[in-house]
Structure 1
Amino acid sequence: MQEQSVARSSERQKRKAYSYNPLAQPFLKWAGGKRQLIPIIKKYIPRKYTQYYEPFVGAGAVLFSLQPAKKSIVINDTNSELINCYKTIRDNPEDLLNLCKQHESNNSKEYYYRLRGRDRQPGFEKLSSVERAARIIYLNKTCFNGLFRVNSQGQFNVPYGDYANPVVADPAVIKAVSTFLNQRSVTIDRGDFEDSVSKAKKGAFVYFDPPYHPISDTSSFTGYSINGFGEIEQKRLKSVCDELSDRGCHVLVSNSNAPFIRELYGDSRYEIVEVRASRSINSVGSKRGKIGELLIYNKYECKAF
């Protein structure tokens, strides 16, 4: 009994070793990022949950806003370069910062296109994880409008942004993110969203932020990954949400305010809430600003704010 008591005390102390750090925040610009919606999203988070899953983590705005104090945190994305950034920040933040600083000091249009072109040259796969992560972070912070987009061959193809004195990597942010990922023992996966939640148990909270269903024929943005996310994938996501609901998991989904999505989640187990989100990342200036989006959750008691 005494040994069990000591073990429980040690576990509590370990969890207390990390306190919420506002500097742990997104380290990339990201189309569809959720920073503007955080106060609203928090209203639909359960009071209690045992595990945290985010299968489409992106830049991690919700993850870093919550910084869940849970034994099990799992983040996932299909984007291999993005997941490499998370793992590199967790495992090797100092070397990453040093290389990002070099890129920042050499920043120019010519330097940008030379670095962007590395994934079109032989030997790209031999770059170290630090070299790959620093390259992606630099390209993201200096490309046009902060887009993350690849072509059908998986090659980064956003033009140069021509910003004055861009900050590529904030040391305080990178170190805070690294501390969070390590002290919370965050599992970082790359794979299919369905696989990533296969071990979610009753009481888990799963936040899905998939590529949005287009509200028009020209509005789709799935270029951050070479894998498209069309109607078939949206329907598969709904089926996964149903399965998680049957397991007793809490589910929250962000998506576009499209008739297809409203119809898809129109059954009685879900509530649909329309929200207005500010969007500053879009290749077309007229499409930036406040747009309608949906928050969809299975019916559980929500956190009061």
Structure 2
Amino acid sequence: MVIQMLPETSPRPFLKWAGGKSRLIQQYIPYFPKFYQTYYEPFLGGGAVFFYLQPTTAILTDINAELITTYLCVRDHVEDLISLLQEHKAKHNREYYYSVRSHRCENELEQAARLIYLNKTCYNGLYRVNSQGRFNVPLGNYKNPTICQEKLLIAASKALSSCEIKKADFTYLLASATDSDDFVFCDPPYHPISSTSYFTGYNGNSFGETDQIRLRDVCAELASRGVKVMVCNSDCEFIRNIYAEIGFKIYAIAASRSINSNIQKRGIINELLITSY
């Protein structure tokens, strides 16, 4: 397929997501491959790159089961989902937020509506769970949160309509992506650039050096098949070294860091964009 600039009315992420790539896509455009048939995104998150590219054929996965359930409901039951979100919007206040946060949902549609509601009203749009797997982000300070964005959800549903969406570890790529017709975009949990910057609350597990090397090895195997691979990560010696070892190209991208408890530590930093081609 050919990469084209899309109009402002094109689908966009329906979730706020830490590390989301919406603000970086303009810098990524020169590095996207010109031609491919099937798009893979194994760390789906907010899906900004998918929604920008709108590939004809896509396989979207993430290890976060609740996130995948939400994407499936947006794809398959968007009208029912909108109805539940309208109920959340009508009832929203501080007490209601914490009631929903502690509530166990009875079905997948309720679970999806709950995730979107909490995502739009919690602090900084974070997704974090405790050791028991319970969402534990406090209420954010919003006067009028956009809980139910009907047009955005409908546009997202249409964009996802032909996609395969499933819960899976990134190693599934080894059984799926096989040749130069495939493009894999990997946006894994970033390697920490300091001893205090680990974030382990995404699915109850950390993504440490061993996982980063496992991902690097998967990317190396895919590249040996001719698969086009693009990886984002933090700009640090460890990440630079493990991808330089396999001959991948490494580019520095200026990114804005907006999630930090210390406002003084928010600002522009370099991240890495790494490609096999």
Settle same-fold status: TM greater than 0.5: yes
Q: 1:108 aligns with which of 90, 93, 112?
A: 93
1:268 Cα deviation from its structure 2 partner: 5.6
SS of 1:254 mapped into structure 2: strand
Counterpart CA distance in 2 for 1:162 and 1:99 is: 22
Asked if 1:25 is matched to 2:12, the reply is yes
AA matched with 2:274: I
Asked if 1:285 is matched to 2:274, the reply is no
Q: TM-score, normalised by structure 1?
A: 0.85
| Deviation digits for residues 47-72 of structure 1 (CA, Å, limit 9, x no counterpart) | 11121100001000000011013xx3
1:225 Cα deviation from its structure 2 partner: 1.5
CA contact (8 A) 1:214 1:256 kept: yes
Greater relative CO, 1 or 2 (CA 8 Å, sep 6+): 1
AA matched with 2:107: S
SS of 1:134 mapped into structure 2: helix
Asked if 1:193 is matched to 2:170, the reply is yes
Q: Which runs of 5+ in 2 are unaligned?
A: 1-5
CA contact (8 A) 2:192 2:198 kept: yes
CA contact (8 A) 2:199 2:206 kept: no
**Measured at CA, do residues 255 and 84 of structure 1 come closer, stay the same or move farther in structure 2, by a change above 3 Å?**
same
Deviates more, 1:192-201 or 1:72-81: 192-201
**Identical pairs, percent:** 50
Aligned length: 271
Counterpart CA distance in 2 for 1:109 and 1:286 is: 28
Q: Which residue of 2 aligns with 1:165?
A: 144
Q: TM-score, normalised by structure 2?
A: 0.94
SS of 1:75 mapped into structure 2: strand
Asked if 1:57 is matched to 2:44, the reply is yes
Q: Which residue of 2 aligns with 1:153?
A: 132
Counterpart CA distance in 2 for 1:264 and 1:233 is: 12
Asked if 1:265 is matched to 2:269, the reply is no
Q: Which runs of 5+ in 1 are unaligned?
A: 1-18, 119-123, 301-305
Counterpart CA distance in 1 for 2:68 and 2:74 is: 10
Q: 2:179 aligns with which of 193, 199, 202?
A: 202
AA matched with 1:155: R
AA matched with 2:176: K
**Measured at CA, do residues 283 and 98 of structure 1 come closer, stay the same or move farther in structure 2, by a change above 3 Å?**
farther
Counterpart CA distance in 1 for 2:46 and 2:270 is: 21
Q: 1:43 aligns with which of 19, 30, 37?
A: 30
